[in-house]
Homo-oligomer: A and B are copies of this chain.
Amino acid sequence: MSAAESAVETIQREMTIFARRARASAGRMHPELSLVSYTLLGHLEERDGCRATDLAAHYALDKSTVSRQVAALERAALIERRLDPEDHRVQVLHLTEAGREILAQVTRSRRAAFRERLAEWPEEDLVRFAAYLERYNAGPAGTDGE
């Protein structure tokens, strides 16, 4: 096996380990915000509001799933729905103040965990690792599908 082939094997194995761990720990780390809820809130912050359908399309989730997630987030007062005056079928979703705070808090705590884990890494390696991950994720949707 060439060095390249063996490296691909390793990448596959380690990505699998990471995915499994992330999945197992996602609920335990932030009981107040699942990984999906977190990314939905993040998307709302980034886009400054969007429709449920946009979330479903972007994250390859069924619209019923998004509908229930949105209902839960609204119940928790983390988001609010604003009816689109142009089209009465549409609800534009926005973060509430509380939602913004929770999102920031979870982001801080996640960031702290990553910082700790990467504390010993030289800057040069951090920068290269970050670039590799970006390149990997930017690739054509193959292994996954966004």
Q: Hey, which bits of chain A sit against chain B, CB under 8 A?
A: 2-4, 7-12, 14-26, 28-29, 35-36, 38-39, 59-61, 110-111, 113-118, 121, 123, 125-137, 139-140, 142-146
Q: Given the complex of chains A and B, what is the CA–CA distance between A22 and B23 in angstroms?
A: 9
The A interface is mostly helix, strand or loop, or mixed, namely helix
Known A-B contacts A35-B23, A130-B7, A130-B14; A116 and B144 likewise in contact (beta carbons under 8 Å): no
Least CB separation from A140: chain B residue: B117
Cβ contact within 8 Å between B133 and A14: yes
Cβ contact within 8 Å between A21 and B129: no
Q: Given the complex of chains A and B, what is the CA–CA distance between A84 and B22 in angstroms?
A: 34
Q: Given the complex of chains A and B, what is the CA–CA distance between A140 and B10 in angstroms?
A: 19
Least CB separation from A118: chain B residue: B8
Q: Given the complex of chains A and B, what is the CA–CA distance between A139 and B146 in angstroms?
A: 29
Q: For residue A33, give the distance in angstroms from its CB to the closest CB of chain B.
A: 12
Which residues of the partner chain B approach A110 to less than 8 Å between Cβ atoms?
A: 12, 16, 143
Cβ contact within 8 Å between A20 and B59: yes
Q: Given the complex of chains A and B, what is the CA–CA distance between A14 and B136 in angstroms?
A: 9
Which of these, B123, B136, B145, contacts A4 with CB under 8 Å?
B123
